[in-house]
């Protein structure tokens, strides 16, 4: 199987409009409480891990002091179980007074003082998934105004305890209400996950006009099986999902679980690399206070983050599935670069996979290769066979730069790589392409 470049052109020609709030032009990055801390509200017996302002302050301190913020991890996102069980006398949501005695606005200020942003959670239904007060249709405007008054920077809108008709009305209404507040609030929609994630039930063109990112599939769990299931679904449906994504509008395969309990070192690298290829939001859900140095190194890998944050915003695809259980993924990047991932589904031993860039549909020429995890470099011609050794359930990830070569005897410039069609389809001039 050779990479069908025409599909990339089609993606660009068929892109949807984007939510007009100017936010999240590259995939958002940060920390999210849910997978690691769930709905732990036992602050009496588990004060270090319960959902409270102390937990989010602790994570903010780590993001701002341990090198995360400078790499782009700026959101600190509250998930379910933060609120009181009752609205206040004015009908407004309020934080649980025991666990958040300072209130959400003060917590937002704590984030902003450290160069970070605060995200918060709500639900379309009468109740959140955890049983707390929801934001049904008649509460959308007041809750949007409340979040803006609290100086919240991102809002995740879940869909428990609501029906399809309510979702169809509520998700666009919340987008309109958030924009009407005058505050820039990134908007995460869980709508597609409740509709099965695929057309005709999911209208991705419309989602791109109302949401900055959206959950497409089931919640991630702390296991390799869960990561694989998400990878299989996203790349199995890549022809539908790739055109939906782009600057300001992202498919969200859910949280990074690197640094928790369920992944090996190789599997952790695999999740990070594949999320980068997918142009996925990078929201860690782990304990930054106790994270291991090996997990930190993976999550703070600058080259993988550069690939994830590429401003073109084109979601990558799986281009090969070999009988050897090696799979190859490719993503086009800015400045005529690209990313390659060689991923092993084997569980027995490292596999030596042989191929060439030409066989992977790269155009004629020489390429500067940098291994994203070892930072070793080499130069390869498209015709040169090479071997990569891929560990079981592991990856090799390459940043690939095309090296323009012009022969002195030639009156015309060297041929553009096949990816020039991407830029042509996007309407870029030759000067902009160069």
Distance of CA 253 to the CA centre of its chain: 7
Contacts of 336 (CB under 8 A, 6+ apart): 401, 402, 417, 419, 433
CA distance 28 to 186: 9
The closest alpha carbon to 117, from 71, 151, 70, belongs to 151
In CATH, which of 3.40.50.20, 3.40.640.10, 3.20.20.70, 1.20.210.10 is domain 14-308? Answer: 3.20.20.70
Instruction: Output the pLDDT for position 19.
Output: 80
219 is known as an active-site residue: yes
Given a contact cutoff of 8 angstroms between Cβ atoms, the answer to whether 263 and 225 are in contact is no
* DSSP three-state, residue 432: helix
Q: In what order do the strands lie in the sheet with 117-123?
A: 250-252, 213-215, 186-189, 154-158, 117-123, 75-77, 29-32, 282-284
pTM: 0.90
**CATH 3.20.20.70 intervals, the chain:** 14-308
The closest alpha carbon to 2, from 344, 338, 277, 355, belongs to 355
For residue 173, count CB atoms less than 10 angstroms from its CB and return exposed for 0-12, middle for 13-18, buried for 19 or more.
middle
DSSP 296: H
DSSP 137: G
Given a contact cutoff of 8 angstroms between Cβ atoms, the answer to whether 263 and 257 are in contact is yes
| Helices and strands in the chain, H and E counts | 15, 16
β-pair type (186-189, 154-158): parallel
Sign of CA dihedral 89, 94, 99, 101: negative
* Residue the block writes with tokens 């049983």: 131
Compute the chain's Rg from CA coordinates. 22
Q: What is the CATH number of domain 317-433?
A: 2.60.40.1180
Query: What are the tokens at 174?
Result: 């919340």
Phi–psi pair at 322, nearest 5 degrees: -90, 155
Instruction: Output the pLDDT for position 251.
Output: 98
* DSSP three-state, residue 135: coil
* Residue the block writes with tokens 């597609």: 192
Given a contact cutoff of 8 angstroms between Cβ atoms, the answer to whether 276 and 333 are in contact is no
- The catalytically annotated residue of 219, 222, 266, 371 is 219
Instruction: Work out the number of other CB atoms within 10 angstroms of the CB of residue 231.
Output: 22
Instruction: Output the pLDDT for position 347.
Output: 97
pLDDT along the chain (434 residues), means of 10: 37 54 97 98 98 98 98 98 98 98 98 98 98 98 98 98 98 98 98 98 97 98 98 98 98 98 98 99 98 98 98 98 98 97 98 98 96 97 98 98 59 38 32 29
Query: What are the tokens at 360?
Result: 């992977």
- The catalytically annotated residue of 143, 158, 254, 382 is 158
**CATH 2.60.40.1180 intervals, the chain:** 317-433
Given a contact cutoff of 8 angstroms between Cβ atoms, the answer to whether 330 and 317 are in contact is yes
């Amino acid at each position: 199987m050779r990479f069908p470049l025409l599909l990339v052109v089609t993606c660009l020609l068929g892109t949807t409009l984007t939510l007009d709030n100017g936010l999240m032009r590259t995939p958002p990055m940060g920390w999210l409480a849910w997978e690691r801390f769930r709905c732990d509200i036992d602050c009496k017996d588990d004060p270090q891990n319960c959902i409270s302002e102390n937990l989010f302050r602790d994570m903010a301190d780590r993001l701002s002091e341990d090198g995360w913020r400078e790499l782009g991890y700026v959101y600190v996102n509250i998930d379910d179980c933060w609120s009181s069980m009752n609205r206040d006398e004015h009908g407004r949501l309020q934080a649980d007074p025991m666990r958040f005695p300072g209130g959400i606005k003060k917590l937002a200020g704590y984030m902003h003082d450290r160069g970070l942003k605060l995200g918060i959670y709500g639900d379309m239904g009468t109740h959140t998934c955890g049983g707390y007060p929801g934001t049904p249709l008649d509460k959308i405007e007041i809750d949007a105004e409340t979040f803006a008054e609290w100086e919240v920077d991102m809002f995740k809108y879940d869909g428990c305890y609501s029906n399809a008709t309510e979702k169809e009305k509520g998700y666009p209404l919340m987008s309109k209400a958030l924009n009407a507040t005058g505050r820039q609030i990134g908007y995460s929609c869980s709508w597609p996950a409740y509709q099965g994630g695929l057309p005709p039930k999911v209208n991705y063109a419309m989602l791109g006009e109302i949401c900055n990112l959206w959950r497409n599939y089931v919640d991630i769990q702390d296991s390799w099986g869960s990561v694989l299931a998400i990878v299989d679904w996203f790349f199995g449906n890549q022809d539908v999902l790739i055109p939906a994504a782009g600057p300001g509008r992202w498919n969200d395969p859910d949280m990074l679980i690197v640094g928790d309990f369920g992944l090996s070192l190789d599997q952790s690298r695999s999740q990070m690399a594949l999320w980068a290829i997918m142009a996925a939001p990078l929201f860690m859900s782990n304990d930054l206070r106790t994270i291991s140095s090996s997990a930190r190194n993976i999550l703070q890998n600058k080259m993988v983050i550069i690939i994830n944050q590429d401003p073109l915003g084109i979601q990558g695809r799986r281009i090969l599935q070999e009988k050897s259980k090696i799979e190859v993924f490719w993503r086009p990047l800015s400045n005529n670069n690209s990313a390659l991932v060689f991923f092993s589904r084997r569980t027995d031993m490292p596999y030596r996979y042989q191929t060439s860039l030409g066989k992977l549909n790269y155009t004629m020429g020489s390429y500067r290769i940098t291994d994203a995890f070892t930072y070793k470099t080499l130069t390869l011609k498209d015709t040169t066979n090479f071997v990569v050794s891929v560990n079981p359930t592991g990856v090799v990830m390459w940043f690939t730069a095309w090296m323009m070569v012009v022969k002195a005897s030639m009156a015309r410039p060297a041929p553009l790589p096949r990816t020039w069609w991407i830029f042509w389809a996007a309407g870029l001039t030759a000067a902009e392409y160069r």
